Amino acid sequence: MTDARLPLTLILASPRGFCAGVDRAIQIVESALEKFGPPVYVRHEIVHNRFVVEALERKGAVFVEELDEVPEGGKVIFSAHGVPKSVPAEAKARELIYFDATCPLVSKVHIEAGRLHERGLEIILIGHAGHPEVIGTMGQLPDDAVKLVETIADAEAFVPQDADKLAFVTQTTLSVDDTAEIVAALKRRFPNIVAPHKEDICYATTNRQEAVKVIAPRAEAVLVIGAPNSSNSMRLVEVAERAGCTYAALVQRAADIDWAALGTPRTVGLTAGASAPEILVDEVIAAFRERFDVTLEMAETVRESIQFKLPRALASE
């Protein structure tokens, strides 16, 4: 009996999946569980991925929305997205043992915003309203010290207190191209605006978008493994569409693939957002193998080697 499955080339983007900040955040939860035993409380999703969250719940992590859900004497971890200054202040006031899993590249933006504020500059934050990282960054400074700009239209409409005392920072998980257009609009309107010393969009976001730009023009469809509340994952879908792919979709797991919409392509690009584990990539590949005669092709654009250290209190002896 011959195999009647159609041939399909799966082009795997590299880099994809976990970044150093996500890896560190998960290790912080696992190390705290190992050191203290369950329960260890985590304020908000440690990273935006239900598979990761549920795996940590099985190990004894308890996810809460706010600190008032953590009992006296509890151990609590703040998510990788960062938190307003009021959150560690509340934890100290309640004498909770807490660990901050904020990605160091998000912390860099926090520090930068603080320094710009100390210089007397009005700060624009380019980002998405309501995203935990944006809430955390704006919460580093007094109310109204940071103004949010989401679009080019916002940039065109923005009215500063003093056009010569203006600076901007950005969310770390934005579209590189969209952000460049917003920055260009701001610089055209306010030539003296102070830019970050170094690009705020993180290396992992940039690298994953560049990899998608390489695979998307070659693929009839691109699937991005990630969560709908994951900013960097959603941006990868947009990047694939802009790069010329006619069908780009976000899937959380293999079960979410819309096979009818996908049809019978000959080439499919596959990547994963920075908070999606490689096991979900393997799961999607296995699902394709059940339906197609799959050939895997790797498309590596850059090799990542960045690692972030754990907090000293949780580091191995």
**62 and 31 in a common domain:** yes
**152 and 93 in a common domain:** no
Q: What CATH number is attached to the domain comprising 80?
A: 3.40.50.11270
- The answer as to whether 226 is a domain residue is yes
- The answer as to whether 168 is a domain residue is yes
For residue 272, pLDDT over 50 is answered with yes
- The answer as to whether 309 is a domain residue is no
Cβ atoms of residues 69 and 80 within 8 Å: no
Looking at 189, 217, 235, which one is the last position of a domain? 189
For residue 317, pLDDT over 60 is answered with no
**118 and 56 in a common domain:** no
Q: Report d(CA 296, CA 317) in Å as an integer.
A: 41
**What are the tens digits of pLDDT across the range 64-109?**
999 999 999 999 999 999 999 999 999 999 999 999 999 999 999 9
**95 and 31 in a common domain:** yes
Task: Label each residue of 183-226 as H, E or C.
Answer: HHHHHHHCCCCECCCCCCCCHHHHHHHHHHHHHHHHCCEEEEEC
**What are the tens digits of pLDDT across the range 227-267?**
999 999 999 999 999 999 999 999 999 999 999 999 999 99
Looking at 189, 214, 234, which one is the last position of a domain? 189
Residue range 185-209: mean pLDDT, rounded? 95
**293 and 208 in a common domain:** yes
For residue 16, pLDDT over 60 is answered with yes
**114 and 97 in a common domain:** no
Please name the residues in contact with 130: beta carbons below 8 A apart, sequence gap of 6 or more: none
290 part of the active site: no
pLDDT confidence band for 3 (50 / 70 / 90): low
**287 and 263 in a common domain:** yes
**151 and 114 in a common domain:** yes
**85 and 134 in a common domain:** no
Looking at 103, 127, 142, which one is the last position of a domain? 103
For residue 184, pLDDT over 50 is answered with yes
- The answer as to whether 198 is a domain residue is no
- The answer as to whether 26 is a domain residue is yes
pLDDT confidence band for 1 (50 / 70 / 90): very low
**211 and 284 in a common domain:** yes
- Residue 96 DSSP one-character state: -
Residue range 119-148: mean pLDDT, rounded? 97
For residue 270, pLDDT over 70 is answered with yes
Alpha-carbon Rg for the chain, nearest whole angstrom, is: 21
Q: What CATH number is attached to the domain comprising 134?
A: 3.40.1010.20
pLDDT confidence band for 153 (50 / 70 / 90): very high
**115 and 78 in a common domain:** no
Q: Report d(CA 177, CA 246) in Å as an integer.
A: 19
Give the count of domains, the chain.
3
| Phi–psi pair at 126, nearest 5 degrees | -85, 120
- The answer as to whether 306 is a domain residue is no
- Average per-residue pLDDT in the chain? 96
Which residue in the list 133, 150, 199, 210 is annotated as catalytic? 133
**What are the tens digits of pLDDT across the range 38-67?**
999 999 999 999 999 999 999 999 999 999
**How many Cα atoms occupy the beta-carbon half-sphere of 194 within 13 Å?**
16
What's the domain range around 240? 7-18+203-300
- The answer as to whether 311 is a domain residue is no
**212 and 279 in a common domain:** yes
- The answer as to whether 158 is a domain residue is yes
pLDDT confidence band for 2 (50 / 70 / 90): very low
